A = this chain, B = another copy of it.
Amino acid sequence: MTSATPQSPSVRPDGRAPDQLREVRFTRGWLDHAEGSVLVEFGATRVLIAASVSEGVPRWRRGSGLGWVTAEYAMLPRATHTRSDRESVKGRIGGRTHEISRLIGRSLRAVIDYKALGENTIQLDCDVLQADGGTRTAAITGAYVALEDACAHLAGLGALAGEPLLGSVQAVSVGVVDGAPVLDLNYTEDSSAEVDLNVVVDGTGRFVEVQGTAEGQPFDRAVMDQLLDLGVAGCAQLAALQRTALDATPPSR
């Protein structure tokens, strides 16, 4: 379990500086059965991630000698302020869920060497137990931790053909709130943000994915530049926190 320490005073709802993360915690091994698992918390946002390893790959990839990594994101019905109906009950998965699941999968695959992974599949299940903004970026950041544990598990089995991880992955949301660029928005900030941008980078700070949306007015290049800087810097902090968590005694499984 690792936490980011506050660095400066500010006028944000929870007193953070504009470039300050919420308290971030990684609790590895939260589940007994999963080959990798972590309860990741960004403030009140809590996402439970399970990495499930299975031999073999989807049909369209068989015989290629290449592995596969995929992800599914979901939210418990009362993760939010008001209850949402279950997608299982509605009988269909919503667009937002689909979109985020795809984003998480792409982000993690960006640091995978499929050949080294061999014909193994790692499925990352990211279930939001409580939502307070930034669930998708918390999920990506936590999923990397679970993924590294799952790879270690495969290595322990002698099931790898090399080092499957080309680097680490971090993600954070940035946005413009009341005219000012801020890092790691909570729900209150997110609801009133004028611009909302999710930055996914690798451990060297290069971009894996960027998704920005003008919630109100379109925004100019100067804002874009500020937000990218803020996001990359936040991800560097997250990379350090991930490392600290992963360097701790491995979970007991």
Contacts and interface: CB of A to CB of B under 8 A. Distances in A.
Integer count of this chain's copies in the complex:
6
Interface string A32-70: 111001000000100010101010000000000000000
A76 interface: yes
A193 to B, nearest CB: 14
A187 to B, nearest CB: 10
A228 interface: yes
A116 to B, nearest CB: 16
Contact of A95 (B99, B127, B167): B99
Nearest to A81: B33
A201 interface: yes
Contacts of A34: 78
Interface string A66-85: 00000010101111111100
Given A74-B88, A77-B125, A207 B211 contact: no
Interface string A88-99: 110111111111
A95 B92 contact: no
Nearest to A225: B225
A119 to B, nearest CB: 17
A78 B31 CA distance: 8
B83 A52 contact: yes
A37 B214 CA distance: 26
A214 B23 CA distance: 29
Given A72-B77, A206-B217, 5 more contacts: A31-B129, A77-B123, A207-B219, A210-B212, A211-B212
5 contacts: A33-B82, A88-B97, A95-B98, A106-B213, A207-B224
